[in-house]
Amino acid sequence: MHVRSLSRLALLATLGTTIPLASAQTTTPLTERLLVQPNGGVSSAELRTLFDRHKLARLKRVHGINLHVVRVAADRVAATEATLRADPRIRSVERDRLLAPAQLPNDTNFPAQYHLMRIGCPAAWDMTTGSIRTPIAILDSGVDATHPDLADKVIAGFNMVDDTTDTHDVYGHGTMVAGVAAAASNNGLGVTGVAWASPIMPIRVTDTNGFAFGSTLSAGLVWAADHGARVANISFTVFGASWLSPAAQYFASKGGVTFAAAGNDGAGHNEPDNPWVVSVAATDANDQRASFSSYGPFVDLAAPGVDIVTTGGGGQYTSVSGTSFASPVVAGVAALLLGVSPTLTPTQIVDLLTGNARDLGAGGYDPMCGWGRVDAANAVAAAHVLVSRPDTTPPSVVVRSPTSGASVSGTVTVDVAASDDVAVTRVVLYADNRPVGALTTAPYRFTWNASTLPLGAHTLLTAGFDAAGNRGVSAAVQVTTIIAKRPAVRLTAPLANTTYRAPAVIAMSAVVADNVGSTRVTFSVDDRARSSDSFAPYSRPLDLSTLARGTHSVVATAVDATGKVGTSQRIVLIKAF
């Protein structure tokens, strides 16, 4: 996110990840659940067979990003995870975890809402207060729709935990978060939200103790994207959670931006930036980083998160602290930007937020507060200046592998690169002008069953689409489908029945003939793999000092691009001192 993109998440999830309450900020794998995402082109029947073979029970599927939540016996989790990762049909495999809300409960006296003045809301409100057309999705414990400052703000949402439309607050956290972002204002009572004209879309992702699975959170983001939300807030600590990226990227493909809490352990974390999530640190009334606010290269922005007055349970009001409440401040400012122009893209929204933030540290980006403390007045003014031109530029799409002229057989991985000046929303693979599969998130890696076509020449190409409907088409890739044969492997060194004296390092070399192309040759000594080479001429050194005196066997094994295996004749060498 340091290139004016999106960053990391701290979430309350129900998708498949576990964390205790905010201050602890720990993450515990839920060992019997895995998140499995196949490559594009893998059929439902093929996936079902794969799951059955490994005795996996599918618990749910997150449509839109084709993410499957499966249960596996606790004593087989590691082995199953490794096996699925090695399967060319599987795009990603991760543990499903539980997350806890990133809040620090505070019972201090009711303070003034200093944060609204600090970030320049009054000046921003002179230009916009948000828009009824741009709801803010609050992925949390639900929202109290009976609260007098929320009653007229809450629109239809969804309960991802129980699969119902009941989104009442089961823990209290979501009501506080929602009030910060968009509580009703100018009504003569209570508190003021940042984007008080924007509706609140409650999406319950937690259990009654405030914990959420990562898989539930991902499903909630997809639901929000499919139901018109342009801003999503996740007040949970999810930095380093790569499982969230497909859902956040899907949300971006529908024009939305995801915001998350940076965390409350006050420590530094060297976690990489997530380009699809804006991670928000907390500051105090003096624009100093809050002592509890986590920091690291994943932080994108900062916002007030100490002594924030907001809506509470039972129609009351409360003062709270935590990055849980800094995140919805920035989410509210994003909604203000969409109030200026609903045509703003996710990239433009993030650029407006980061480019107009008040720098709090050394010039430019820093891991404590990212690009600085959000400034609503400056960002909204800049949005007014920004002229949104119609997007007429199509995505750029390239098939990276296989390359033109390649011979293929069986199951083939087709790797595609796609980019756009705004965002790629979908990539479709075609074989002989017939669609094979479609992907909505990167990496765009398809699994194509070449055996469904007759032997001979065929054409692969891909098309990329953006939100404006522009279509970019790749150059055609010509491939030839063949019947793959096992690689023929011959050891050329060491020589059979030859005595070698130590100390010495000798070569193990092999030549391979194959009608597809070998990808790896492994050399084994006494039936134990010693080393491998992925490029011809295939050769690796053998240090004789690692062998005992006597006779030893050497064999070379080749694996080609289709997975077929060929093995050389076993030769015997004799080591003498």
**Cα separation, 97 vs 182, whole angstroms:** 29
**Of the candidates 454, 481, 508, which is a domain's last residue?**
481
The tokens of 47 are what? 């996936």
540: domain CATH number?
2.60.40.10
> Residue 328: its pLDDT value, please?
98
Is residue 443 reached through a cis peptide bond, with omega within 30 degrees of 0 on the bond before it? yes
Q: Are residues 380 and 401 in the same domain?
A: no
pTM over 0.75: no
Which segments within 395-469 are labelled E, that is strand? 396-401, 407-408, 411-419, 424-431, 434-439, 444-449, 456-466
Nearest C-alpha neighbor of 464 from the set 503, 495, 438, 486:
438
> Residue 158: its pLDDT value, please?
98
Would you give per-residue pLDDT tens digits along the chain (577 residues)? 444 433 222 222 222 222 222 333 334 445 588 888 888 888 888 888 889 888 888 888 887 788 888 888 888 888 888 888 888 888 888 888 777 665 443 323 334 689 998 999 888 988 899 999 999 999 999 999 999 999 999 999 999 999 999 999 999 999 999 999 999 988 888 899 999 999 999 999 999 999 999 999 999 999 999 999 999 999 998 888 888 899 999 999 999 999 999 999 999 999 989 999 999 999 999 999 999 999 999 999 999 999 999 999 999 999 999 999 999 999 999 999 999 999 898 989 999 999 999 999 778 899 999 999 999 998 998 888 774 567 788 999 999 999 999 888 888 999 999 998 877 889 999 999 999 999 988 889 999 998 889 989 999 999 999 878 899 999 999 999 888 788 899 999 998 888 888 778 899 999 998 877 667 899 999 999 999 998 889 999 999 888 888 899 999 999 887 778 999 888 888 776 6
Q: Are residues 428 and 556 in the same domain?
A: no
Q: Are residues 268 and 350 in the same domain?
A: yes
Q: Are residues 477 and 498 in the same domain?
A: no
- Secondary structure element (H or E) that encloses residue 559, with its range: strand 550-560
Please count the structural domains in the chain. Answer: 3
**Cα separation, 53 vs 399, whole angstroms:** 32
Show which residues are catalytic: 140, 173, 324
Q: Structural domain of residue 338, as residue ranges?
A: 101-385
**Cα separation, 302 vs 287, whole angstroms:** 9
Nearest C-alpha neighbor of 137 from the set 210, 254, 206, 221:
221
**Cα separation, 140 vs 210, whole angstroms:** 8
Confirm whether 71 is domain-assigned: no
> Residue 102: its pLDDT value, please?
53
Confirm whether 40 is domain-assigned: no
> Residue 353: its pLDDT value, please?
96
